[in-house]
Amino acid sequence: MINIHYITYQTFPAETGNSLQSICNIIEMVRMKNEVTLTFPNRDSASSSSLSELQSYYNFSERIEINRTKHPLPFGKINYFQKINFHISHFLWSLGVISFSGDLDSADLFITRSDWVFYFLSKRKKRVIFECHGESKLRKLLLKKSLKNKNSRVVFLTKSLESHYDDTGFKPSQAIVLGSAFREDLFFKNFKKIDNQVVFVGNLLRFGKSRDIEFILDCFADNRLENYQLKIVGGPSEYVTKLQEKINILGMSNIELLGRLNQKETAEVLLRSEIGILTNSSDNINSRMHTSPLKYFEYLASNLKVVAVKFHSHQILPFGENIEFFKANNKESFISAILKLQTTKTINLSSYKTYSYKNRVEQILDFARLEGLEPPTL
C-alpha cells in the first residue's frame, strides 16, 4: 500500500470528461488498497467537499480523503478576461497549495493534471506524475523545467502528444503513453440491444462552443435515417433545452435528449444501443490531433459499432480500422457512414478488456516505481 496525493486544478463534481477520468483513476487506486487524498480548489458553485455527494454523482462506494481548498482568486468569479484569469488563478493556487500544505511529506507519490502543480512539486524533488492531455506553449516550457527532476514522470494521452513534447528533454524512463479507458464494473453486462439505436455521450459544449450536435440533428432529420433512433446523453441543461426547442420545431420523433445521466445510467443506455457517435469541433487542435475520448472506450466496452468524424486523433484510436469515418460537417458522408454499419461486425469483447481503468492504473503505478519507493500493492 502506498499513500497517493492527487492534486489538481479541476473541480468536482463536474460534467467534464477530465474530471470523470480523474475520479475513475482514483477509484481504481483505492481498490488496489492504496490511500488516496484528492485536493482541488473551491472555484465553482457546484463543487463539493462531501464524499457522499461525489460517491453518488460518480457511482462509487470507495473511500477517499477529500481536501477542497479555498480559492480567493478571480477565475470563476469574474466573467471578463477568463483566459487570463484562469492562468493567474491556476498559478497562484498551485503555488499556495504546494508552498503551504503541511502534509506533503506524508505522500509516497503525487499525481496531477496541473502544469503548475507538476512544476512546483518537481522543484521540491517530489515523486510526481503529470497526466498530459493537450498541447500548449506554456506547458512545453514547464515540462522542460520540471523534467530536470529525476523523480518527475509524464503520462501522455497519445503518441502524437508525446511526439509534440519530444524536445522537452525527457528520458525514456520518464514518459509513457496511456490513452483513456472504461470502468469495467459498469460494462460487460447482458442487455438486449435495440435495433438501430444510435447514441452520443458527452458534454455537448466544449469551452462554451457546440460539439457539432446541431449537425447531427440535421442529419437525423433526413428520411434515410428515419428508422434510426438517436439518444443524446449529456449537458449542460440550458443547452439541452435549446436543442429540444429545435427538435420540437422540426417535429423530429426519432431523437431523444436524455440530459446528464450518472455513470451507471449512461452505461445502461450504451449497452442497449447498437451505434456510437464520435464528433467534436474542429476549432481545437487537441480535439483534431491528440484526444483519446473516454466515450470511445465506453462504446467499445458496450460492443457498439462506431462512426467518427475523420480527425487524426480518431484515426489513431485502437481498433480504428473498424470505425466508419465521415467528413466534418458533411451530411452525405455522415449518413453514408451510418448506413454502412449495417454490414459491419463488432469485435469480440475480450479484445477490449486491456483498456479498462484497472489495467490503466496498474500501468501508472508500475511506471511510478521510483528509487526508494516500495512497489504498490496491485
- Give the separation between CA 320 and CA 359, rounded to whole angstroms: 20
Phi and psi torsions of 131, nearest 5°: -85, 110
Reported pTM:
0.91
> Please, which residues have CB within 8 angstroms of residue 227's CB and are 6 or more apart in sequence?
196
Which pLDDT score, from 0 to 100, does residue 371 have?
47
- 271 class by beta-carbon count within 10 Å (0-12 exposed, 13-18 middle, 19+ buried): buried
Ordered structural domains, the chain, with CATH? 3-181+356-367 (3.40.50.2000), 184-353 (3.40.50.2000)
**In this structure, are residues 169 and 142 in contact, taking their beta carbons and an 8 Å threshold?**
no
Q: Which DSSP helix (H) or strand (E) runs through 279?
A: none
- The closest alpha carbon to 272, from 189, 337, 345, belongs to 189
- Residue whose C-alpha cell is 497519445: 158
The series of mean pLDDT values per 10 residues for the chain, 378 residues long, is: 96 92 97 97 94 96 96 78 89 94 85 98 96 94 96 95 94 95 91 95 75 88 95 92 90 93 95 93 73 92 94 89 91 97 83 92 88 47
User: If DSSP codes are grouped into helix, strand and coil, which group holds residue 373?
Assistant: coil
Three cell numbers, residue 111? 499525481
**In this structure, are residues 124 and 145 in contact, taking their beta carbons and an 8 Å threshold?**
no
User: If DSSP codes are grouped into helix, strand and coil, which group holds residue 180?
Assistant: coil
Which pLDDT score, from 0 to 100, does residue 250 have?
82
